């Protein structure tokens, strides 16, 4: 007993935090490999390995949280493996600790859900899933801890590959193979940009440790080049428009826990990378960087929200909503850079806090919703919103927990999504003070785009929840839907609990984010924490109390309920709903996902490329069809693809298939080289 206690105490002393974290990461890999002992049996994987992985996740989150709150100095470590001259460097500082906390907190919920989710006969063997899943987790943790470019890239590629295999676990379906290929392609284009960015960042020293990059002095041109490359690379991973095309394909293709991991966690490693590159390695030099990120972020947010509103597949809808949320996070980062480069560190800290908090919140509620779609998918075999409905009666647990996620992502108090969006709006209020003419008038308008996006997100989520869980079942087979099993409920409940906790006590989250803004900007918001409310700049300026909101609404709810019972009698008569005098209604006559998209298509027509088939009035077998496409696909990607194809065709003339011709090429090459040398 006392020995265990000592061991725990030793593990919790911050000096060993990095070491214990590495042990936990190694533990994940061991767990993953452990499944290979009995590759075809589900029991080992589901009952032992995934729950253990969840415990390790919780451990990572706890360690990172302790590190953040204790305020210890960054820890570094050098591990021998690596290139001959470049061993692996690792570093645990507040920024990485924050993202490890995010990874662990959301990962624990996803892992425990996965324990109940994966079934035999769905895609790859369970053990393979388990291996890829845990390698994916471990690689994300290493990305966050890496302190040199080499280890970072190794972990980054491991992350991309393991997630690729997870996405294509049902590789017998052609669309999934295609989605996987697109994902792999974009991941590598992004990785290439990141690699080039690191190449610029080393600044001629040829030292690829992050420590050397922090010290390198770059000319403005090269610094901006490095920033632009990093923005391209990390933006591609995060799903920033116009590099987002892989996201709505890959997220729906993957099994739901994997979608949750990719959307909730993997996108956040890109956010982490962007913060690391722009704040830590490049020390934020020009406000134009911030303006670029702000514009891209706002556009992505609006774009994602508009496209989410017209989707008819529940997982695609959530994927577009991820683009929206990543856009919001980038908006926060952009504002922060804008303020920081204009020497307004306090406001920069406010915007950065909003971005960090939104990253954490998104990890929680988006994982929750993706997992809920997984439960719905297992219960109904349906992903199309047009064939769902009324599941709140069949799946009360999933419906209740998904409602928490829905309200959170819609940005409603007293849940967590509201807190970060509120902070972001608060930081927009200070933009008129920016010392650049015109910028200080244009940026405030960004706040209205933000407000529009947030409110559109609420529209999208009402559609999402209302069509899936409310109303009447649109298909007969939905009456056989079953609720999620216990482990799945536990996973969903964990994430929903996180959403409520941060929403009601946002000061906890501010406390966790404070060391990060301290590290990156040298200042923090709301240094004096109040137990009941947050007031980021000053209480006279603005404050918000999630606790009062929850207590107020719940208190009035209870009092009203009792009073109504006292005043009015509580008699209730169950009848059929009012049918407007038309008794032949069926469940298929309810409002549809397309119906919800209609006002959006009408108002934001310029965003889409639409193809419509409207049958004639006398058509005996009418079929309505509407196909909506992303304009970027035709504007950017198809020309590039055609160009690549044409170049390949042109080059393929050289490839005649005759050995003698190939020998001639070699001979000619040698001749040319000789001419150069001589």
- For the CB of residue 5, give the shortest distance to other proteins in the complex, in Å: 42
- For the CB of residue 627, give the shortest distance to other proteins in the complex, in Å: 22
- For the CB of residue 249, give the shortest distance to other proteins in the complex, in Å: 27
CB atoms within 10 A of CB 59: 18
User: Residue 544, SS3?
Assistant: strand
The residue among 17 and 456 lying less far from other proteins, judged by its C-beta, is 456
Strand partners, 656: none
The residue among 285 and 592 lying less far from other proteins, judged by its C-beta, is 592
Question: What does the block give as tokens for 43?
Answer: 């029991």
Which residue is associated with the tokens 């050995």?
659
Which residue is associated with the tokens 């690391």?
276
> What string of DSSP letters covers 185-246?
HHHHHHHHHHHHHHHHHTTTS---BHHHHHH----HHHHHHHHHHHHHHHHHHHT-TTS-TT
HSE-CB at 98 with a 13 A cutoff on CA atoms is 32
Residues 351 and 431: beta-carbon distance below 8 Å? no
Which residue is associated with the tokens 């929200």?
305
- For the CB of residue 533, give the shortest distance to other proteins in the complex, in Å: 6
Strand 608-613 and strand 86-92: the pairing is unpaired
Residues 186 and 160: beta-carbon distance below 8 Å? no
- For the CB of residue 344, give the shortest distance to other proteins in the complex, in Å: 15
The residue among 603 and 648 lying less far from other proteins, judged by its C-beta, is 603
Question: Between 486-504 and 345-380, two packed helices, what is the crossing angle to 10 degrees?
Answer: 160
Total count of residues recorded for the chain: 678
The residue among 80 and 577 lying less far from other proteins, judged by its C-beta, is 577
Residue 105, phi then psi, degrees to nearest 5? -65, -50
The residue among 45 and 408 lying less far from other proteins, judged by its C-beta, is 408
Residue 191, phi then psi, degrees to nearest 5? -60, -40
Which residue is associated with the tokens 């003419």?
437
User: Residue 168, SS3?
Assistant: helix
- For the CB of residue 477, give the shortest distance to other proteins in the complex, in Å: 17
How far apart (Å, rounded) are the C-alpha atoms in residues 255 and 371?
Answer: 9
The residue among 48 and 470 lying less far from other proteins, judged by its C-beta, is 470
- For the CB of residue 536, give the shortest distance to other proteins in the complex, in Å: 11
The residue among 552 and 643 lying less far from other proteins, judged by its C-beta, is 552
The residue among 281 and 457 lying less far from other proteins, judged by its C-beta, is 457
The residue among 586 and 652 lying less far from other proteins, judged by its C-beta, is 586
- For the CB of residue 338, give the shortest distance to other proteins in the complex, in Å: 17
Residue 147: partners with Cβ closer than 8 Å, 6 or more residues away:
76, 89, 90, 91, 209, 210, 211
Strand 86-92 and strand 75-83: the pairing is antiparallel
Dihedral of CA 76/80/83/86: which sign?
Answer: positive
How far apart (Å, rounded) are the C-alpha atoms in residues 22 and 17?
Answer: 9
Question: For 270-349, where are the E strands, in sequence order?
Answer: none
- For the CB of residue 560, give the shortest distance to other proteins in the complex, in Å: 5
The residue among 62 and 508 lying less far from other proteins, judged by its C-beta, is 508
The residue among 70 and 560 lying less far from other proteins, judged by its C-beta, is 560
- For the CB of residue 549, give the shortest distance to other proteins in the complex, in Å: 7
- For the CB of residue 239, give the shortest distance to other proteins in the complex, in Å: 22
How far apart (Å, rounded) are the C-alpha atoms in residues 65 and 497?
Answer: 17
Cα-to-chain-centroid distance, residue 173: 25
How far apart (Å, rounded) are the C-alpha atoms in residues 560 and 243?
Answer: 51
The residue among 113 and 544 lying less far from other proteins, judged by its C-beta, is 544
- For the CB of residue 380, give the shortest distance to other proteins in the complex, in Å: 16
How far apart (Å, rounded) are the C-alpha atoms in residues 337 and 344?
Answer: 10
- For the CB of residue 289, give the shortest distance to other proteins in the complex, in Å: 24
Residues 416 and 503: beta-carbon distance below 8 Å? yes
Question: HEC string of 239-270?
Answer: CCCCCCCCHHHHHHHCCHHHHHHHHHHHHHHH
CB atoms within 10 A of CB 11: 18
H or E element at residue 152: helix 149-167
DSSP 436: S
The residue among 567 and 659 lying less far from other proteins, judged by its C-beta, is 567
- For the CB of residue 138, give the shortest distance to other proteins in the complex, in Å: 38
Dihedral of CA 439/445/451/452: which sign?
Answer: negative
- For the CB of residue 408, give the shortest distance to other proteins in the complex, in Å: 11
How far apart (Å, rounded) are the C-alpha atoms in residues 626 and 269?
Answer: 36
The residue among 11 and 408 lying less far from other proteins, judged by its C-beta, is 408
The residue among 71 and 432 lying less far from other proteins, judged by its C-beta, is 432
């Amino acid at each position: 007993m006392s020995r265990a206690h000592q061991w725990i105490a030793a593990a919790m002393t911050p000096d060993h935090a990095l070491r214990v974290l590495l042990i936990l990461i190694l533990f994940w890999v061991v767990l993953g490999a452990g499944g290979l002992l009995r590759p075809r049996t589900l029991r080992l994987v589901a009952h032992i390995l995934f729950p253990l992985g969840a415990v390790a996740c919780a451990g990572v989150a706890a360690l990172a949280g302790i590190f953040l709150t204790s305020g210890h100095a960054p820890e570094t470590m050098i591990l021998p493996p690596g290139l001959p001259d470049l061993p692996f460097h690792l570093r645990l500082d507040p920024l990485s600790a924050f993202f490890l906390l995010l990874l662990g907190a959301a990962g624990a919920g996803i892992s425990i859900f996965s324990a109940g989710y994966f079934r035999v006969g769905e895609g790859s063997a369970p053990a393979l899933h388990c291996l890829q899943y845990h390698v994916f987790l471990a690689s994300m943790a290493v990305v966050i801890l890496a302190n040199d470019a080499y280890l970072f890239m190794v972990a980054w590629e491991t992350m991309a590959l393991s997630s690729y295999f997870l996405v294509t676990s049902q590789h017998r379906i052609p669309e999934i193979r295609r989605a996987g290929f697109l994902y792999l392609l974009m991941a590598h284009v992004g990785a290439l940009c990141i690699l080039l960015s690191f190449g610029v960042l080393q600044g001629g020293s040829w030292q690829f440790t992050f420590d050397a990059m922090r010290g390198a002095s770059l000319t403005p041109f090269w610094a901006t080049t490095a920033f632009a490359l990093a923005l391209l690379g990390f933006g591609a991973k995060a799903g920033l428009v116009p590099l987002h095309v892989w996201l709505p394909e890959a997220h729906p293709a993957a099994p739901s826990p994997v979608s949750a991991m990719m959307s909730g966690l993997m996108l956040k490693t890109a956010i982490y990378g962007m913060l690391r590159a722009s704040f830590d390695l490049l020390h934020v030099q020009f406000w134009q960087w911030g303006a670029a990120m702000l514009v891209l972020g706002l556009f992505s947010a609006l774009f994602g929200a508009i496209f989410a509103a017209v989707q008819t597949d529940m997982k695609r809808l959530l994927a577009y909503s991820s683009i929206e949320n990543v856009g919001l996070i980038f908006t926060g980062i952009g504002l922060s850079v804008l303020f920081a480069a204009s020497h307004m560190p306090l406001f920069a800290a406010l915007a950065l806090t909003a971005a960090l908090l939104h990253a954490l919140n998104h990890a929680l509620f988006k994982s929750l919703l993706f997992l809920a779609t997984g439960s719905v998918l297992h219960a109904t075999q349906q992903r199309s919103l047009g064939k769902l409905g009324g599941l709140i009666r069949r799946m009360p647990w999933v419906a209740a927990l998904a409602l928490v996620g829905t309200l959170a992502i819609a940005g409603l108090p007293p849940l967590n999504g509201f807190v970060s969006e509120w902070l972001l709006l608060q930081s927009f209020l200070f933009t008129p003070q920016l010392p650049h003419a015109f910028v200080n008038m244009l940026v405030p308008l960004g706040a209205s785009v933000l407000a529009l996006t947030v409110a559109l997100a609420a529209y999208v989520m009402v559609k999402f929840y209302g069509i899936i869980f409310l109303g009447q079942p649109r298909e007969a087979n939905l009456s056989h839907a079953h609720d999620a099993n216990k482990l799945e409920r536990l996973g969903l409940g964990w994430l929903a609990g996180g959403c409520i906790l941060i929403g009601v006590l946002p000061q906890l989250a501010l406390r966790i984010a404070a060391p990060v803004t301290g590290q990156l900007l040298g200042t923090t918001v709301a240094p004096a924490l109040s137990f009941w409310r947050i007031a980021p700049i000053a209480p006279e300026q603005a404050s918000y109390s999630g606790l009062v909101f929850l207590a107020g609404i719940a208190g009035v709810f209870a009092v009203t309920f009792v009073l109504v019972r006292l005043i009015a009698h509580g008699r209730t008569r169950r009848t059929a709903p009012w049918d407007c005098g038309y008794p032949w209604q069926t469940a298929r006559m309810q409002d549809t996902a397309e119906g919800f998209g209609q006002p959006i298509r009408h108002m934001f027509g310029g965003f889409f490329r639409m193809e419509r088939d409207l049958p004639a009035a006398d058509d005996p077998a009418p079929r309505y069809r509407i196909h909506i496409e992303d304009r970027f696909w035709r504007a950017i990607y198809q020309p590039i693809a055609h160009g690549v194809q044409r170049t390949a065709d042109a080059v393929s003339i050289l490839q005649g298939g005759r050995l003698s011709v190939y020998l001639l090429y070699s001979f000619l090459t040698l001749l040319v080289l000789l001419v150069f040398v001589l």
